[in-house]
Amino acid sequence: MAGEETERRVTKRRVRTRARLLEAAFGVFAAKGFGRVSIEEVCEAAGYSRGAFYSNFATLDELFFALYRDRAGLIADQVAGALAADGPDLDVPAAVDRVTEVLLLDLDWLLVKTDFLVHAARDAAVAATLLEHRAHLRRAIAGRLARAHRHTPLPPVLGGADGAAHAVVAAYDGVTVQLLLDKDVDAARAWLRQLLTALLAGGAPARAGHGEPARTGPAAPAAENLTTPAEED
């Protein structure tokens, strides 16, 4: 019994240490950029030694992927939950409103993710792992759209639920690129609402949220992303 209690205490302490390292790393990555941060800086920000770091993570890449899993899982849950609220049918404008209201649009996270994307583009092994993590969100969306497709047809041009999921995620990518530059979260949500409604409803007009008219965002970044369905988030 004493041994089990000690093991539980050690496990809880390790969970707290890991969570604190992740929180500290996120703050340092956002402030300085992923490629400019050392393990020592993460340890200093968390108040731990290098030993504490290496007992939880082998590299900064591994730490980032732990952060990414948490954020990608949260976004996947948000999107899947918003799409699932209609039951077997899919009320596209209502579902799009729900998705755009709850979707994580955190500027600090977008900065960190963009830095890491550039890092992964130069390392094939890191890129392969990142692609798999990005695919988690796409699979969650595709699964929901496939279930709804039996009751609410998708525009044929998208080529089914998988193609629609690629397009949805590409639209999100385009919106977040613009958000990184103009820092306008409200405009990003309005633009994303318009894009998703156009994609999933075959061009039906978007419904404005909270009594405001739908706002029009720049078209070029979205067009670039929508023509590259191999990109995933």
Distances (CA, A) of 136 to 67, 141, 155, 191: 14, 9, 23, 24
Buried b (16+ CB within 10 A) or exposed e, 44-66: ebbebeeebbeebbeebbebbbb
3-state helix, strand, coil in the chain (%, to 5): 75, 0, 25
| pLDDT score recorded for residue 179 | 94
| pLDDT score recorded for residue 223 | 35
| pLDDT score recorded for residue 169 | 86
Cα–Cα dist 118/180, whole Å: 15
| pLDDT score recorded for residue 105 | 87
Question: CB-side exposure of 201: number of CA atoms within 13 Å?
Answer: 19
Show pLDDT as tens, one digit a residue, over the chain (233 residues): 544 554 555 578 889 999 999 999 999 999 998 888 999 999 999 999 999 999 999 999 999 889 888 887 787 777 777 777 766 666 778 888 888 888 878 899 898 889 888 988 999 988 998 898 788 778 877 887 777 666 667 788 788 888 888 888 889 899 999 999 999 999 999 999 999 888 887 644 444 444 344 444 444 343 333 333 334 44
| pLDDT score recorded for residue 154 | 76
Residue that has been written with the tokens 């994609």 in this structure: 199
| pLDDT score recorded for residue 9 | 53
Question: Amino acid letter at 85?
Answer: A
Q: Is 48 helix (H, G, I), strand (E, B) or coil?
A: coil
How many other CB atoms are there within 10 angstroms of residue 114's CB atom? 15
How many other CB atoms are there within 10 angstroms of residue 97's CB atom? 21
Asked if 225 contacts 171 with a C-beta cutoff of 8 angstroms, the reply is yes
